[in-house]
Structure 1
């Protein structure tokens, strides 16, 4: 055993031995060793710095402003509530790649990192609906091709990082491996939706918009190439307003009163502004009193809004009792505040009418459901409803079997992706959007006798999707006119059920042109120019 008194000598001997061996190596070897040591230290430092500054969340997904944005095949989960459905999408995509068969990619582009339970539930339903359409396309469509690969594109909260994600999608359309042939989604009519659509369609990427209802976000007779290669499968705000007005006039005992318009004057919101214009136009000859204005600070910002309503309600109550139908041109968060305040100051029975954006109201935990028992009816147009097509009804404007197909798919996959709630239309519409993209892609493939149609071939086929080539959607028949808009699309009219908090009551169907479309999706000349 070495004693402490002998250790200094051992250390000195060791140092001398190492120094002697170092000098025996020669200058050339010494230089190489030192260079290697420096390089090793540099590599270690670079790795450490890279790990500290790496902004990658996953392949195709990066971190920006505290959230992960980009495009994923389901292997990355943008939010915990999407974990189960993302896993199923990833598995389906893996099977598509491994099949050896021809495939194309369809993207679902919506903000997937919303805050708040209502927003998260909305996104979950939309992603579930998209997956169910993908699964049906790959397993329940008579072995039709090409197969469908679904990717999720998250532009971030308020679509703040839309430019980066949009460029990714454009790159995927040009990539022979991705073969992106359609982008679906677009679930909110506000900036920068128009910028995204302009960039995508300008780059030749076909688009199938989901619950996008603003009249100025689409092609028209006046501007038929505003968004070349884009289609809208839902009735826009103008069609909804026309259908609602027709339905309300026919509603027993409720169409006898006078209307009043209440609107949000906040600038930059396509949904609010088009509702104001359309409701105002519909009520021009019937409304005897000036519309009542409030101003919000944002889509979900409630600051100061309740105080404005608190002053507005007495003004409404001071109008003649015949003013009992209130048309609301605003976002659902502010509609909830308005209804709550109306119930706090009851003066007579009112029917409050709004458009499809109100679909989240039923699940808004801050809505005071008790006010519905004070003579307040909240009615709005819905883009779809699971009870719209009973088995006993003739197939006019929609079909029972189409909705039953979706219901069956949802039930079969509930254990894997969770329960898909169809009542508020979110899942139904996104299912139909993806299914319309699938139908267009496969129609283009068949027409061109190709396994994988080009993006241009897909965009060109939209104009043919009527008169025998319309889509039998779960939300109703989708008959696309020359501008890519759904002709005379069914509007489901629903109201909050006062006896069942959180649930809707299906009131009936209404039609923008007052009657259902023809049974073969034929579009009259007067509608083709609309």
Structure 2
């Protein structure tokens, strides 16, 4: 029996005592040393793999360098840079004037981030109770995107203006309870890294001392935005959208979501009311076929559906598609040459445009070139919706419209007349503009027509009012020691319509959110401006108002 057991052991797959004794002692020592060295190398490589991308982004928790840009969440101590190579369309190389303009942009971009970081440091040092909120957007400046470098800068100025008002005035309840730190959450140039950033926000919402209580901003109606807010919603994080307008982004589908901007249906309802008073007979729809690498274009799909539903009283001609690129590159007039020829032959008097703002500019350029050779005499009206009226500042584009006997009818968020001090401006616009000038300076006032500063400001204002409404209720109930539950903040969003005091007196209107509504604001005027005639604004006393018509 003993002999048999030795035989079984020698045939086993593991090492045997006899074989171990056959290995020289020097070899065993070197093998041990090599194993230890190998393990150390693995640990070093692993640590480098984890640490180096973060060190390249200032060592900030949550920020990591991917494909040349830092994505994730920062409190402003890391400053996102302005990369000249990503802004060559706006600031061409070898142009002295462009060099100076880029330097001014880079300085402004740095200063607005420093301003937010300074506010955050003051809040942390104050000893007051505070919470954190996060501005969620692509934060790498580009000039060939739908959310380009100018809209990004304008948005950040709006954020800083709102933060200064929230922490330094009584405009949005008690400035010390709680105070607000604003984090900057970068999804990446084309929002490719939305999941990493959303996961970081969810982790921050679990912080026991100063939790993230809301994500706000979301300036793009895109599939990535839709996916990101769905993840945040599943984790119970409240959200307030800024410029994202797609109807599919709503509180019914995404619990915990409201927005400061009108939805697409509100814009098209305003357009419908305006166009109904005009003698227009034949409409053609021109739409982006959403052939984008990022997936379906939620904004375009939502706008096209709203046109079909809301624009009445005209004969519907054929629909024509193009493959837009303005989420990832600037379009060219050649993109629309075939559609321009079809307009010439079909002779509609109305085009319902469902694309991005950058695509619209390419379309107008193409039609202006085609119209010169068109035998038919066509006075074309182009209807569209947009967050702001940057197109009104493009002198070449305005001349092209005039030469082509065409006009733009645009539903938008900010009437340029408000910037000129018109009496038609909402109650809270003057206070917003004063705060904006304090943050950005007088020279930045012309950029207010883009609407992004006002919508970012109002998104943060809605956030502050909802959070503070909830915090005050908890304090009054005596349950302050239990913290500030995110679910209570979500419920607080619906309480912003219970009294005039609880409504949000924002840049774009006095906003409220009805119990059981879809999350779009009530009380937001939607200006409709005709270009080039109304380049200075409509100054209307009879705007379409969300929730009221």
Q: Tell me if TM exceeds 0.5.
A: yes
Q: Secondary structure at the match of 1:157?
A: coil
Q: Secondary structure at the match of 1:379?
A: strand
State the partner residue of 1:385. Answer: 415
Shift of 1:373: 2.0
**Which segments of 5 or more consecutive residues in structure 2 lack a partner in the other structure?**
1-28, 83-105, 372-376
Shift of 1:65: 1.0
Aligned counterpart in structure 2 of residue 486 of structure 1, from 521, 526, 529: 521
- Find out whether 1:273 has 2:308 as its counterpart: no
Q: Secondary structure at the match of 1:195?
A: helix
State the partner residue of 2:94. Answer: none
- Find out whether 1:54 has 2:52 as its counterpart: yes
State the partner residue of 1:67. Answer: 69
TM-score normalised by L of structure 2: 0.76
State the partner residue of 1:94. Answer: 121
Shift of 1:505: 3.1
In structure 2, the CA distance between the partners of 1:496 and 1:147, relative to structure 1 (3 Å rule), is same
State the partner residue of 1:137. Answer: 166
CA distance in structure 2 between the aligned counterparts of 1:382 and 1:356, rounded to whole angstroms? 5
Query: What do residues 288-339 of structure 1 show as CA deviations (whole Å, max 9, x unaligned)?
Result: 4222332335634456x6345222223212235xx32211011112211110
CA distance in structure 2 between the aligned counterparts of 1:217 and 1:229, rounded to whole angstroms? 11
State the partner residue of 2:12. Answer: none
Aligned counterpart in structure 1 of residue 154 of structure 2, from 106, 125, 131: 125
Aligned counterpart in structure 2 of residue 337 of structure 1, from 342, 357, 362: 362
State the partner residue of 2:274. Answer: 247
State the partner residue of 1:409. Answer: 435
Q: How does 1:59-458 map to 2 (within 5 A)?
A: 59-60=60-61, 61-80=63-82, 81=106, 82-116=109-143, 119-141=148-170, 143-219=175-251, 224=252, 226-250=253-277, 254-266=278-290, 268-283=296-311, 285-297=313-325, 299-301=327-329, 306-320=333-347, 323-346=348-371, 347-356=377-386, 359-362=389-392, 368-374=397-403, 375-385=405-415, 387-388=417-418, 393=423, 399-400=426-427, 402-414=428-440, 421-449=447-475, 450=480, 453-458=484-489
In structure 2, the CA distance between the partners of 1:392 and 1:294, relative to structure 1 (3 Å rule), is closer
CA distance in structure 2 between the aligned counterparts of 1:51 and 1:318, rounded to whole angstroms? 60
In structure 2, the CA distance between the partners of 1:128 and 1:233, relative to structure 1 (3 Å rule), is same
**Structure 1 contact 332–358 (Cα < 8 Å) conserved:** no
**Structure 2 contact 71–187 (Cα < 8 Å) conserved:** yes
CA distance in structure 2 between the aligned counterparts of 1:404 and 1:83, rounded to whole angstroms? 26
**Structure 2 contact 280–349 (Cα < 8 Å) conserved:** no
**Structure 1 contact 332–357 (Cα < 8 Å) conserved:** no
What's the Cα RMSD here?
A: 3.2
In structure 2, the CA distance between the partners of 1:486 and 1:69, relative to structure 1 (3 Å rule), is same
Shift of 1:344: 1.0
Shift of 1:183: 0.5
Aligned counterpart in structure 2 of residue 463 of structure 1, from 477, 481, 494: 494
Q: Secondary structure at the match of 2:536?
A: strand
Q: Secondary structure at the match of 2:520?
A: coil
CA distance in structure 2 between the aligned counterparts of 1:311 and 1:454, rounded to whole angstroms? 56
In structure 2, the CA distance between the partners of 1:312 and 1:458, relative to structure 1 (3 Å rule), is same
CA distance in structure 1 between the aligned counterparts of 2:304 and 2:193, rounded to whole angstroms? 29
Shift of 1:149: 0.5
**Structure 1 contact 89–131 (Cα < 8 Å) conserved:** yes
**Structure 1 contact 84–416 (Cα < 8 Å) conserved:** no
**Structure 1 contact 389–399 (Cα < 8 Å) conserved:** no
Aligned counterpart in structure 2 of residue 507 of structure 1, from 538, 542, 546: 538
Query: What do residues 201-245 of structure 1 show as CA deviations (whole Å, max 9, x unaligned)?
Result: 1101100011111111113xxxx3x21111122211111101111
State the partner residue of 1:11. Answer: none
TM-score normalised by L of structure 1: 0.79
CA distance in structure 2 between the aligned counterparts of 1:149 and 1:474, rounded to whole angstroms? 21
State the partner residue of 1:475. Answer: 508
